[in-house]
Structure formats: C-alpha cells, structure tokens
C-alpha cells in the first residue's frame, strides 16, 4: 500500500458468513474469517483493494498514541527514554523535559512497565472525572475497569465502565469526553435523545470533542524499538 509492505494475519471469527478486514497498526492487518464459508484471503484482499486503500489513508491521517519511541501522553508528545539497570526506583516512570523516562531492571520489558503505568494513570483519571461529575454516592463509587480493548471505552448492561488503558494519552478534554459518554450510559443505555441530554449536561461541547476523538486511534500492540 503506497509503497509500504503491510503484513496480515488470519483469525477465525464468530460470524457465519462475513469476513472482516482491519488494520492493527500501520504495518499490520488482520483478516477475520467466517465460520461457515471458505474465504481465500488473497482473493478477498484483491476484491476489497479500493476499500483497504481508503482505510489505509484514513489511518495515516490519524495520530497513534505510540509511534516508534514517541508517546502521546495527555495530548502531548514525549520521547521515551529507557533507563536500564537503574535499580528499583520509587517512581518507575516519570515525565521530564519532554521525555518519559522508564526505569527497568534486568530482564524487564520497558513496554510492559510503560503500559502498566498508563493503565494506572487512566484508572485514576476516569475515577476522578466520575467523582467530579456525580452527585450520587452510588455512581461515584462505580467500578472502573481498564482493559486492552480496540475501542476507547464501553459500558456494560450491568453498569460496569471499561476503558482502554491508552485513554490517558488523549488530550484531557477528549479523554474526559470518553469517560462522560460511557458514564451517561449508566443512565441511558442507547444513543437516543435522552442520552445526549444527560451527556450534554456534563459535557456541553460533546459534539466537538467526539469529532476531535476521531483523530486518534489506540494501538493494537505495545512494543518499543530495541536498542
Ligand atoms: Zn455510547
């Protein structure tokens, strides 16, 4: 695509008839095969070429939270610096002068340390936004789960809020929108008028922020350049 080699991996999906193609990153795609119909991946890629090209251009125009050793954190770009054999520091990850420093000990993967740190920051952030916007002690104490998901967040029917561990990478007003959107689902489990009224109550600029959110995509795998 555009002179770039894109790898693809195959996976068996749940759909009986339909195959799905999606990008996992700028270098990798995933083809999800249906259960009941045999699909030739090469044939599928040829047939869907123009759609894939369109999706790829869309992907290139969006900001990824991790690109090489540059990390987006609270909407700002930071250079990741790995400090090896640094002993066990009190703070494993710290931000300083446009850099994010990750301290690791022998045998430790800096990507994992960074990921856990972002997940914890995301959890704290989501809890803070909910506490600030809720007057009811029951919703203030709502359970917040941080997961490795493709979306930024979702709300379950049983009233559990789940967020992507990369949420804290987004500009704060955009991350806040995601939290408040899912939070509003606790009261209305659809996207109808009443839902948007609740959302607008906590986040009057939700339309602009929703648009802003489209500029960013979560990454499918976290790995740092080996040096
Ligand atoms: Zn929703």
225 CA to centre of ligand 1 in angstroms: 35
The C-alpha atoms of residue 126 and residue 159 are separated, in whole angstroms, by: 15
Check residue 89 and give its pLDDT.
64
CA of residue 152 to ligand 1 center, whole Å = 11
Over residues 102-130, the pLDDT tens digits come to 998 888 888 999 999 999 999 999 999 99
Tell me the pLDDT tens digit for each residue of 38-60. Answer: 999 999 999 999 999 988 988 88
Per-residue pLDDT at 3: 86
Q: How many angstroms separate the alpha carbon of residue 186 from the centre of ligand 1?
A: 10
pLDDT more than 90, % of the chain: 67
pTM, entire model: 0.79
At 63, the pLDDT band (50, 70, 90 cuts) reads: confident
> What is the Å distance from ligand 1's center to 182 Cα?
6
Checking if the pLDDT of 149 tops 70, the result is yes
Of 203 and 63, more confident? 203
How does pLDDT run across 194-218, given as a tens digit for each residue? 999 999 999 999 999 999 999 998 8
- Residue 227 pLDDT exceeds 80: no
Q: Residue 23 and residue 7: Cα distance in Å, rounded?
A: 10
pLDDT at 86: 58
Mean pLDDT of the chain: 90
What does the pLDDT read at residue 48?
94
How far does the centroid of ligand 1 lie from the alpha carbon of residue 51, in Å?
26
pLDDT value for 68? 79
pLDDT at 65: 87
pLDDT (0 to 100) of residue 226: 62
Q: How many helices (H) and strands (E) are present in the chain, helices listed first?
A: 7, 13
29 strand-pairing partners = 8, 23
């Amino acid at each position: 695509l555009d002179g770039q080699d894109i790898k693809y991996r195959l996976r068996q999906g749940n759909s009986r008839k339909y195959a799905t193609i999606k990008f996992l990153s700028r270098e990798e795609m995933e083809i999800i095969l249906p259960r009941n119909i045999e699909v030739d991946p090469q044939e599928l890629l040829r047939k869907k070429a123009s759609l894939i090209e369109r999706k790829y251009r869309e992907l290139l125009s969006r900001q990824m939270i991790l690109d090489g050793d540059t990390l987006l954190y609270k909407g700002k770009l930071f250079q990741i610096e790995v400090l090896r054999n640094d002993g066990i520091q009190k703070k494993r990850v710290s931000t300083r002068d446009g850099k994010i420093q990750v301290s690791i000990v022998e045998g430790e993967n800096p990507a994992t340390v960074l990921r856990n740190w972002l997940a914890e920051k995301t959890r704290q952030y989501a809890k803070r936004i909910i506490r600030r916007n809720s007057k009811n002690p029951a919703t203030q104490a709502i359970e917040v789960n941080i997961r490795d998901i493709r979306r930024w967040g979702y709300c379950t029917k049983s009233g559990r809020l789940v967020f992507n561990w990369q949420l804290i990478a987004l500009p704060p007003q955009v991350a806040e929108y995601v939290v408040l959107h899912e939070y509003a689902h606790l009261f209305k489990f659809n996207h109808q008028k009443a839902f948007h009224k609740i959302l607008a109550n906590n986040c009057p600029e939700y339309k602009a922020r929703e648009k802003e959110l489209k500029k960013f995509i979560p990454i499918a795998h976290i790995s740092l350049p080996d040096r």
